[in-house]
Amino acid sequence: MFTTSSIIDNLKQTEGLEYKKLCKSLKITKKSDKDKLNIALNALEKLEIINKNAENEYTCTKDGNHIVAKIRCSSKGYCFAVREKNKEDIYIKENLLNYAWNGDKVLVRILKESYRRRSPEGIVDCILERSNQILLSKVEMVNNDLYAIPIDDRILSKIKLPKKDSIYIYKPENKNIVQVEIDRFPIGQDEGLGHVIQELQLNNNEKLDIDFVLSKSNIGKIDNKKLIESKKVEKRERIDLTDKNSYLFKSWNSENSPILPMIQIERLKNKSTKLWIHTNNLAERVDLESRNSLEIFFNGFESLPLLNNWQNYLDEAIRNTTEFKFAEKNEAISLCMHLNSNNEITKWSFHLTKVRCSLIVGSDHIDALLSRKSKTRITSRLLKPLKEYIEDLDKIIEISTSFRKRHLLEGIVEIPAPLNKIESLKELFIHNPAKYSKGYFEPLRKEDCQTYLASILNEGNEIWFKHSSHYGLKSAGYILKDFDDINTNEIIKYSEFIGNDIELNEDGNLTYSQIINLCDDDNKKRILNKLLTNEFKENEVILISKNSENNESEKLFISPWTIPGYDFTNLMNQYCIFNMIINGKKSKKNNINEINIMESNSWEKVDWIIFNASITKNIDALFNKFIIDKLNENKNKVSQFKSNLISIKKVRLAEKLIGNTYKGFIMSVQNYGFFVEISELNVEGLVHVSTLNNDWYEYRSRQNLLIGRKSKKSYKVGDEIEVKIIKVDILKYQIDLELT
DSSP notation for 467-498: HHHHTT--EEEEEE----EE-HHHHHHTGGGS
Contacts of 489 (CB under 8 A, 6+ apart): none
- Look at 260-269, 461-470, 712-721 and tell me which has the smallest mean pLDDT: 712-721
The reported pLDDT for the residue numbered 593 is: 82
Residue 615's pLDDT band (boundaries 50, 70, 90)? very high
**Highest mean pLDDT pick, 82-91, 167-176, 586-595:** 167-176
- Other C-beta atoms lying within 10 Å of the C-beta of residue 327: 8
The reported pLDDT for the residue numbered 404 is: 95
Residue that wins the pLDDT comparison between 54 and 332: 332
**What totals of helices (H) and strands (E) does the chain contain, helices first?**
17, 34
Residue that wins the pLDDT comparison between 243 and 229: 243
pLDDT at 289 over 50: yes
Terminal CA-CA length for the chain: 56
- Look at 268-272, 274-278, 306-310, 589-593 and tell me which has the smallest mean pLDDT: 589-593
For residues 150, 156, 160 and 161, what is the CA-based torsion angle, rounded to 10 degrees?
Answer: -10
pLDDT at 133 over 50: yes
DSSP code, position 581: H
- d(C-alpha 540, C-alpha 528), whole Å: 25
User: Which H or E element spans position 723?
Assistant: strand 720-729
- d(C-alpha 667, C-alpha 40), whole Å: 49
Residue that wins the pLDDT comparison between 553 and 507: 507
Contact between 586 and 595 (Cβ < 8 Å): yes
Mean pLDDT, rounded, for 361-385: 84
pLDDT at 261 over 50: yes
CA distances from 24 to 18, 28, 378, 430, 630 (A): 10, 6, 67, 45, 22
**In the chain, what are the helix, strand and coil shares in percent, each to the nearest 5?**
30, 30, 40
Domain edges within the chain: 4-60, 67-129, 134-201, 239-481+541-638, 485-533, 657-739
pLDDT, tens only, 177-186 = 999 999 999 9
Mean pLDDT, rounded, for 611-632: 91
For the domain 67-129, what is the CATH code?
A: 2.40.50.140
- d(C-alpha 92, C-alpha 180), whole Å: 27
pLDDT, tens only, 535-579 = 667 889 999 987 655 554 446 789 999 999 999 999 999 999 999
| Nearest CA-CA partner of 90 in 72, 116, 74 | 72
| Nearest CA-CA partner of 44 in 122, 111, 131, 126 | 126
| Nearest CA-CA partner of 248 in 258, 263, 236 | 263
Mean pLDDT, rounded, for 157-167: 96
**Highest mean pLDDT pick, 261-265, 443-447, 730-734:** 261-265
pLDDT, tens only, 241-258 = 999 999 999 999 998 999
Residue 204's pLDDT band (boundaries 50, 70, 90)? confident
pLDDT, tens only, 436-464 = 888 788 899 999 999 999 999 999 999 99
The reported pLDDT for the residue numbered 672 is: 92
Which residues pair with residue 194 across a beta bridge? 182
| Nearest CA-CA partner of 128 in 108, 109, 110, 107 | 107
The reported pLDDT for the residue numbered 612 is: 94
Q: Do domains 67-129 and 134-201 have the same CATH topology?
A: yes
**SS3 for 447?**
coil
The reported pLDDT for the residue numbered 674 is: 95
Percent of the chain residues past pLDDT 70, beyond the cut: 91
pLDDT at 502 over 80: no
pLDDT at 360 over 80: yes
Residue 498's pLDDT band (boundaries 50, 70, 90)? low
Does the domain formed by 134-201 have CATH 2.40.50.700? Answer: yes
**For all residues of the chain together, what is the average pLDDT?**
88
CATH pick for 657-739 out of 3.30.460.80, 2.70.210.12, 2.60.40.10, 2.40.50.140: 2.40.50.140
Mean pLDDT, rounded, for 523-532: 73
- d(C-alpha 685, C-alpha 689), whole Å: 13
The reported pLDDT for the residue numbered 264 is: 98
For residue 619, how far is the Cα from the chain centroid? 23
- d(C-alpha 109, C-alpha 106), whole Å: 10
Residue 504's pLDDT band (boundaries 50, 70, 90)? low
pLDDT, tens only, 454-493 = 999 999 999 999 999 999 999 999 987 655 555 555 555 6
